[in-house]
Chain A
Amino acid sequence: MYYDNKRLALSIFWTILGITLIILSFTEVLQSSLYGGMGGGLTVVGVFQIIRNLRYRKDAEYKEKIDTEASDERNSFLRMKSWSWAGYITVLVEAIGAVIAMIRGQETIQMVLSFSVALIVFVYWLMYMILSRKY
């Protein structure tokens, strides 16, 4: 069962949080327009997920489709592969960006990108250590 009560509760939480942020932004309790945008995004995602969740509970065919997609091993393989490529590409782009920033003398950008690369490499190493104990 993919869309369980936990996922529904989480969707409701995102929706409420989103609406709260929109209200606080419109009433100018929160000054930055960023919060309004963030609230809008959260509300849309939350409502969309609630609709999917309710459809999942009523429509048996849709439920079967979602459950199959969630447990399908090729889908899992593709998700893992995509994350792996996303990680490689991000590290590469950030590393190149850091070198370019260093050449151009943009110290802050260079530092942020370098730290980001270091963080990703550290998390990778940490996960490798944890997973190698598990498997």
Chain B
Amino acid sequence: MKNRIEEIRNAKGIRQDELAKLMGVSRQTISSLENGRYNPSIMLAYKISRYFGMTIEEVFIFDEEE
């Protein structure tokens, strides 16, 4: 699943480690999410989206072909 975490995070001027701390996960988790190597649980996806003030669909892009 693709996502816009890096783009939104950069627009908000937040570092990976800061976002990780706010979400209660490791910096590596944020890095893996941004690189598309790891898909988050629905809870984490919800937390990240809520923190950005967006819906899950706005942050995470579901690709039916994947």
Binding site for B on A (CB under 8 A): 68-69, 71-75, 77
Contact = CB atoms under 8 A, between A and B. Distances in A.
List 4 A-B pairs, minimum CB-CB distance, nearest first.
Answer: A74-B29, A72-B26, A72-B25, A73-B41
Contacts, number: 26
A71 B20 CA distance: 12
Contacts of B28: 74
Q: Is the interface of A mostly helix, strand, loop or mixed?
A: helix
Contacts of B25: 68, 72-74
A73 B39 CA distance: 10
14 contacts: A68-B21, A68-B26, A69-B26, A72-B24, A73-B40, A73-B41, A73-B43, A73-B44, A74-B25, A74-B28, A74-B29, A75-B26, A75-B29, A77-B38
Contacts of A75: 26, 29
Contacts of B43: 73
A69 B41 CA distance: 16
Nearest to B20: A68
B38 A68 contact: no
Contacts of A74: 25-26, 28-29, 32, 38
Contacts of B38: 74, 77
A115 to B, nearest CB: 38
B35 to A, nearest CB: 12
A69 B25 CA distance: 7
B3 to A, nearest CB: 14
Contacts of B32: 74
Contacts of A71: 24
A72 B43 CA distance: 12
A73 B48 CA distance: 14
